[in-house]
C-alpha cells in the first residue's frame, strides 16, 4: 500500500506541555515556550506534534480534568498564544494534534455544576447518576482506576455519580445524544481553528453497561498490583456500543480535509483492532501500545508484530508506540544500549510511529522523592510504584540552570544526569542517541520502503529479530540483536547483500555486506538490499 495521507507517512511526537519549555519562569512549560522550540522539532524531523491537554483545568489530574473544552488554561498561555502556535507550526510544516478528553470533565465544569444542582436539572442525565444499593452504599462494585469505589455520593441530591478516575473527574453519559452533540461541537471548534486532529483519551471507556452489572473478580490479581485490577472491567470498558460513538466522532473529523482521529486504547490486540471501525470508519489509528509492556526479547517482539499484522483489518494502517506520559521511560525499561535498538525498531516497523518527548535523548525515569510526588494516582495508592511523575520530568535542553527548561523552580525535579545528557551535548556528539534518531528519521524520508513497503518477517533464533521492508525498487533489511553477545550471521536465504545504511552504534554507514554479517551485542543494523520477491 502506498502511503498517500500525511498521518500514514508521518512521525508523531508527543509533548507533555508542562515539561517542555517554560517561557515565564513559573516552573511550568507553556505555549510560548513550545513555539520557541519548534525549530528543534523541525530539525529532529518529526511531522506532527501531539499536545497533552492545555484546556482550563483545576489540575487535579494535570489537565485531564477539564473545566472548559474551548479555552486555554492560563498556566499555558492564552488563545492568542494557541493561534500563534498553530500558525507557527503550520508554517514550519508541522501538524498539531490536540488531546481530547471526552470521557469525563472536571467536577468544576459548568455542565457538572448544573447536573449536580438538582435531580430535575436539564443536564442531570449528562452524567451517570444512580441511587445507592438497596442495603446502602454504592450502586455496584465498580472501582476507580485511581483506587477506591468509582461511585461518589452527593449529599445534596442523595445519589451517586460515576467516576472512572478521580472523584473530581465525573464521567459523561455518552448514551445521551445531547452529550454527543456537545462534544462534536467542541471538536468542530478546534478543527475550525486549524488543528489537524485529536488523540482521544480513554476512548474505550466511553460507554458503560446499561444494566450496571457488577464487574467479575479477576482470578489473576496479585498483592502489590493496583487495587482496581482486583476486578475485570467487563461492564465498564470496551462495550459494543462504543463503536457507534466513535463512528460519530469520525463523521465529524471527515467534515474537514486531511484530519486524523487517534484513540487511546489499552486492550489486547484482537480487541484493539475493532476500533478501526466497521468499514474502517472508526479511529484512523487506534494506538497500539503492545511494545509498552512487552517482555524485551526478540521472540516476544517477533510474536507481537506477527499477531498485530495478522489481526489488522484489510486496508487498516498500523501504528507503534514506545513511550508516553503514563508509562516508564523506554531507556529505563530496557537500558541505554537497547534503547537504541528500540529506536531502530520503532522507526523501521510498518506503520506510523509515535515518539515521546525526551526519548530521543535517552531520558530516563526519574526517582521522585515522597515529598515531591505530584501524580494523584501515586498519592491515592502509595507504595505500589504506579506514579507517573518520573516520565514527565522537564525536557533536558542544555547543561545550564534547570537544564534550560525554566528560569524558575521546575514543577517536577530534573534528572541527575541532565548536565551531561541534554540536547546541546548530544547534538554535538555524532554517535549520540539523538543523532541516531535523526538518522533513522532521515532514512524514512529517503527510502519509501520504510513507509509503504511490506513487512516480511525472516526466521531467526535466540536474540535476533530480522525482517525486511520490501519496496517497489529496493528493500531494507533490519537485523536487531536483543542480546549482549555478538553474533555472526551467514545465510544466503535472507539476502545478506547490499549496503549497510545505519548501525545503532553509528559507525558502519556505507559498509558493504556480501553474504555474512558480524553483529555486536545490543546492535541493530539496516541494510539496503536489491528488491526480492
Active-site amino acid positions: 201, 255
Residue whose C-alpha is closest to residue 15's, from 98, 100, 86, 131:
98
Coil/strand/helix, residue 255: coil
Residue 108, exposed/middle/buried by CB under 10 A (0-12, 13-18, 19+)? middle
CA–CA distance, 111 with 186 (Å, rounded to integer) = 13
Name the grid cell of 377. Answer: 494516582
Q: Are 455 and 441 in contact (CB under 8 A)?
A: no
**% helix, strand, coil for the chain, step of 5:** 30, 20, 50
What is the rounded distance in angstroms from the CA atom of residue 40 to the CA atom of residue 316?
32
User: How many beta carbons lie within 10 A of that of residue 296, not counting itself?
Assistant: 15
Q: What are phi and psi of 119, to 5 degrees?
A: -70, -20
Dihedrals φ, ψ of 165, to 5°?
-120, -120
- 336-346 and 433-446 helices cross at what angle (nearest 10)? 10
Report whether 54 contacts 79 (CB < 8 A): no
Amino acid at each position: 500500500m502506498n502511503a498517500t495521507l500525511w498521518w500514514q507517512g508521518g512521525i508523531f511526537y508527543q509533548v507533555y506541555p508542562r515539561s517542555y519549555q517554560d517561557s515565564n519562569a513559573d516552573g511550568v512549560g507553556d505555549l510560548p515556550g513550545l513555539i520557541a522550540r519548534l525549530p528543534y522539532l523541525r530539525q529532529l524531523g518529526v511531522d506532527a506534534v501531539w499536545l497533552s491537554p492545555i484546556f482550563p483545568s483545576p489540575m487535579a489530574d494535570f489537565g485531564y480534568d477539564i473545566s472548559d473544552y474551548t479555552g486555554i488554561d492560563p498556566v499555558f498561555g492564552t488563545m492568542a498564544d494557541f493561534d500563534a502556535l498553530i500558525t507557527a507550526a503550520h508554517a514550519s510544516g508541522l501538524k498539531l494534534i490536540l488531546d481530547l478528553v471526552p470521557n469525563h470533565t472536571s467536577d468544576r465544569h459548568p455542565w457538572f455544576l448544573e447536573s449536580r444542582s438538582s435531580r430535575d436539572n436539564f443536564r442531570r442525565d449528562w452524567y451517570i447518576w444512580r441511587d445507592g444499593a438497596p442495603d446502602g452504599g454504592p450502586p455496584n462494585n465498580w472501582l476507580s482506576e485511581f483506587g477506591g469505589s468509582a461511585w461518589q455520593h452527593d449529599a445534596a441530591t442523595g445519589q451517586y455519580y460515576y467516576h472512572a478516575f478521580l472523584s473530581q473527574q465525573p464521567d459523561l453519559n455518552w448514551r445521551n445524544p445531547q452529550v454527543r452533540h456537545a462534544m462534536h461541537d467542541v471538536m468542530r471548534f478546534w478543527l475550525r481553528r486549524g488543528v489537524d486532529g485529536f488523540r482521544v483519551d480513554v476512548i474505550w471507556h466511553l460507554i458503560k453497561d446499561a444494566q450496571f452489572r457488577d464487574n467479575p473478580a479477576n482470578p489473576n490479581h496479585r498483592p502489590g498490583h493496583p487495587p482496581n485490577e482486583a476486578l475485570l472491567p467487563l461492564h465498564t470498558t470496551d462495550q459494543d456500543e462504543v463503536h457507534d460513538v466513535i463512528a460519530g466522532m469520525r463523521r465529524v473529523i471527515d467534515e474537514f480535509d486531511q484530519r486524523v482521529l487517534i484513540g487511546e486504547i489499552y486492550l489486547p490486540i484482537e480487541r484493539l483492532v475493532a476500533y478501526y471501525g466497521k468499514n474502517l470508519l472508526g479511529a484512523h489509528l487506534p494506538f497500539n501500545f503492545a511494545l509498552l509492556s512487552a517482555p524485551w526479547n526478540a521472540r516476544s517482539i517477533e510474536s507481537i508484530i506477527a499477531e498485530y499484522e495478522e489481526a489488522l483489518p484489510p486496508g487498516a494502517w498500523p501504528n507503534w508506540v514506545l513511550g508516553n506520559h503514563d508509562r516508564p521511560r523506554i531507556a529505563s525499561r530496557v537500558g541505554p544500549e537497547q534503547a537504541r535498538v528500540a529506536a531502530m525498531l520503532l522507526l523501521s516497523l510498518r506503520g506510523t510511529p509515535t515518539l515521546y518527548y525526551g526519548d530521543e535523548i535517552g531520558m530516563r525515569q526519574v526517582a521522585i522523592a515522597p515529598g515531591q510526588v505530584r501524580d494523584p494516582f501515586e498519592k491515592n495508592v502509595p507504595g505500589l510504584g504506579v506514579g507517573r511523575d518520573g516520565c514527565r520530568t522537564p525536557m533536558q535542553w542544555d547543561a545550564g540552570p534547570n537544564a534550560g527548561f525554566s528560569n524558575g523552580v521546575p514543577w517536577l525535579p530534573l534528572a541527575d544526569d541532565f548536565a551531561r545528557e541534554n540536547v546541546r551535548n548530544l547534538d554535538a556528539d555524532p554517535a549520540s542517541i539523538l543523532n541516531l534518531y535523526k538518522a533513522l528519521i532521515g532514512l524514512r524520508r529517503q527510502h519509501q520502503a520504510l513507509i509503504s513497503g511490506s513487512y516480511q518477517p525472516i526466521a531467526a533464533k535466540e536474540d535476533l529479530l530480522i525482517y525486511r521492508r520490501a519496496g517497489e525498487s529496493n528493500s531494507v533489511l533490519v537485523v536487531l540483536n536483543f542480546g549482549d553477545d555478538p553474533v555472526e550471521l551467514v545465510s544466503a536465504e535472507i539476502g545478506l547483500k547490499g549496503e549497510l545504511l545505519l548501525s545503532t552504534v553509528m559507525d558502519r554507514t556505507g559498509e558493504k555486506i556480501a553474504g555474512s554479517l558480524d553483529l555486536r551485542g545490543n546492535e541493530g543494523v539496516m541494510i539496503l538490499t536489491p528488491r526480492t520477491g
